[in-house]
Amino acid sequence: MQFFDEWKFLAGLGIFLFGIFMMEESIKLLSGRAFKTMIRRYTGTRVKGLISGFVSTAILQSSSAVSLIVLAFVGAGLLTLVNAIAVIMGAMVGTTLTAWIVAVFGFKFKIDAFALPMIGIGGIGLIFLAASPKYVNISKLLAAFGFLFLGLDFMKTSVDQLSAALDFAILPDLGLWAYVIVGILLTAIMQSSSATIAIILTTLFSGIIGFNQGVAMVIGANVGTTVTILLGAVGGIPAKKQTAASALMFNLGTAIVVLPALPLILWLMCDIFGFRENVVLGIAFFHTLFNVIGVILFFPFVPALSRLLERLFPEKHWVLARFIINTTPRVPEAAIAALRREVFHQLFLSLRYIAGIYKLDPGNNLEPARHSDGFWSDPPLTYEDLTRLHAEIFSFYARIQAGEIDKAETAQMELVMRSSRSVMNATRNLYELLGEIEEIGSDDNPFMIEAYRYFKNRLQRLWAIVEKVTKFFENEDLTGILIDFFRSVENADKNFIRSCSHSVARGRIRINEVTNLLMVNRLFTQSNRMLVLSMQSLTHRNDPADVLLEKPQES
């Protein structure tokens, strides 16, 4: 007889991890203002987080599922570590309702039964709701939940015969620690503390194990349930690892406190409260008591625990700033020069990031040689890195402003900061346009495919100009190059509008398609203008008020 289906377990693990990835991705795409407000409303404080974790787990009957959702929210930046720890604590208490249901009614509710309908409905939604990004992401989230639960179910059923074949009668002489370890292993293998509790109650009711051994296995089941959460954090960002580690520390810490006090707790339960007469209810009561003790012990120290975890699993922030970090803001001349060079650095990194996400043809541009002036960054960039760099630039600017500077220096600095804001705004526009431009390129309409190539070619030229400007801005007068490029931006805008007009007249594109194309082009052109005007301001060596390039009317 085969007790363990290793391939089914491996498939379950793969489906489970894919569900985690898909869930986090869809949550990020769905995380608009209303969604963030809802999450913060119900998890905005530690107490709210604790209650939300308890209620949601009582409904879903799976602390693992709730904890994995918490991991996804943390990964998407919607939940702080402190509040995430509180939600997980509440989830640990909420999951004990399963033991009460089994003990009182002899029935265990399985949320895994929803896996296939979730995948089915989510998959159909991905096809038939493709026109709406919002509903596509909702469908993706629904399918992700289904994959998550299907993966857990695969892992559990792959070892069903193993759990059925276990002979607990061989363990009584090995001491309570043996039962704690068995509880950990069972839960880690079956990916469900509820399943372990059901086995404990069944074997206890059948007289195979005693009440003391059952209690020890409950302690092990609570520690073992963190394996699912730890799996969910595999390969994740430090914030997810911090959250998963908090669940382990909560359950392991509670076990370390409760185990030495177990004789006293068993005496109170059996001799004072009379649970020896109803050991099944006694197990359910102890399961709840264990987690309540954990909340009482840890809840007041959640902020301190959060700080400890942040030190153990620190966020690896790459130092993107190159010039302002080594310059004091108290010397205005040096500080303004460093600020100007830093904004050039910001410009280069921003366009390097845009070139990467749009998968531009590398040619000789995407991987330039390391420049002596420092315009380079080794680690892969993210949009969050760029927003952090912009914040650092603004913070340095604020510190310069706090000192004594004259009007001419103020004017120079304001021009540089206006350029920095324009770079960030243009980067945000191009970042947010990525999905729409990729959708244009996936259309089978020849004009749409040509429009997609046209946008990418314009970006390619922009990137080439940015690289040239950042490389030679100290040594060459780039005014002519920038004026020529600015004119090309305006001509590209006019040509695109003209081509859209001709295509509509000839029936090559539909009316609703041209509206989207024109809106994309408008933001795209505005971003190009902002960037070229920023470069002009940063390279201009005369009076900052003298603007060489006048911004034309928006298209």
Judge if 120 and 161 occupy the same domain: yes
**Chain segment 320-365, per-residue pLDDT in tens:** 888 888 888 888 888 888 999 899 899 989 998 998 888 886 544 4
Contact partners, residue 232, CB within 8 Å, separation at least 6: 20, 67, 68, 71, 240, 244
337 and 204: one domain?
Answer: no
- Give me the mean pLDDT over the 212-220 stretch: 87
Q: Please check the confidence at residue 491 and state whether its pLDDT lies above 90.
A: yes
What 3-state class would DSSP assign to 164? helix
Q: Left, alpha or beta for 359 (phi > 0: left; psi -120 to 50: alpha)?
A: left
Task: Mark whether 353 and 298 lie in a shared domain.
Answer: no
Rounded distance between C-alpha atoms, residue 309 and residue 302, angstroms: 10
Which has the higher per-residue pLDDT, 241 or 546?
Answer: 241
CA-CA-CA-CA torsion sign (255, 261, 266, 272): negative
Are 288 and 171 part of one and the same domain?
yes
State residue 198's pLDDT score: 65
Instruction: Please determine, for residue 547, whether its predicted confidence score (pLDDT) is greater than 50.
Output: no
Q: Confidence class of residue 494 from pLDDT cuts 50, 70 and 90? A: very high
* 158/121 same-domain check: yes
Among the candidates 256, 286, 312, a domain finishes at 312
The answer on pLDDT for 369 being more than 50 is no
Residue 432: name the closest of 364, 529, 524 by CA.
524
If asked whether residues 200 and 57 sit together in one domain, one would say: yes
Average pLDDT over the chain reads 78
pLDDT tens, 163-202? 555 555 555 566 778 888 888 887 887 666 766 776 777 6
CATH number, domain containing residue 389: 1.20.58
* Backbone angle region of 77, left / alpha / beta, with phi > 0 → left and psi within -120 to 50 → alpha: left
* 219-232 pLDDT, tens digit each: 988 888 888 778 77
Mark whether 129 and 206 lie in a shared domain.
Answer: yes
CA 264 to chain centre: 44
Q: What share of the chain in percent tops pLDDT 70?
A: 75
Structural domain of residue 495, as residue ranges? 324-539
3-class secondary structure, 348:
helix
pLDDT higher than threshold 80 for residue 432: yes
The pLDDT value recorded for residue 554 is: 41
Q: What is the pLDDT of residues 72-123, one digit of tens each?
A: 777 666 678 888 888 888 888 887 776 676 566 543 445 556 678 888 998 8
pLDDT (0 to 100) of residue 173: 60
Q: Which of 282, 312, 342 is the last residue in one of the domains?
A: 312
Do 208 and 169 touch, CB atoms closer than 8 A? Answer: yes
| pLDDT for residue 390 is more than 90 | yes
In a domain, 355, yes or no: yes
Per-residue pLDDT at 289 exceeds 60: yes
Half-sphere exposure of 125 (CA within 13 A, CB side): 19
**How confident is residue 27, by pLDDT bands cut at 50, 70 and 90?**
low
User: Does 333 lie in the same domain as 308?
Assistant: no
Q: Where do we find the tokens 């994995």?
A: 68
Q: How many domains does the chain have?
A: 2
Would 266 be classed as within a structural domain? yes
Percent of the chain with pLDDT over 90: 16
d(CA 60, CA 118): 14
Q: Is residue 445 part of a domain?
A: yes
| Phi, psi (degrees; rounded to nearest 5) at 109 | -75, 130
Same domain, yes or no: 395 and 473 = yes
For residue 311, the tally of other CB atoms under 10 A from its CB is 9
Residue 514 lies in a domain: yes
Q: How many helices (H) and strands (E) does the chain have?
A: 23, 0
Mark whether 307 and 354 lie in a shared domain.
no
Is residue 57 located within the same domain as residue 199?
yes
Check if the beta carbon of residue 339 is closer than 8 Å to that of residue 413. Answer: yes
Please report, in angstroms and rounded to a whole number, the separation of the first and last CA atoms in the chain: 74
DSSP secondary structure code for residue 170 in this structure: G
Q: In this structure, is residue 84 part of a structural domain? A: yes
Average pLDDT over residues 53-58: 75
CA distances from 442 to 164, 390, 452 (A): 52, 33, 9
Q: Please indicate, yes or no, if residue 551 is contained in any of the structural domains.
A: no
**Is 458 a residue whose pLDDT tops 90?**
yes
Report if residue 95 sits inside a domain. yes
Instruction: Indicate whether 203 belongs to any domain.
Output: yes
Contacts of 48 (CB under 8 A, 6+ apart): 41, 42, 83, 86
Helix (H, G, I), strand (E, B) or coil at 166: coil
Whether residue 338 sits in one domain with residue 482:
yes
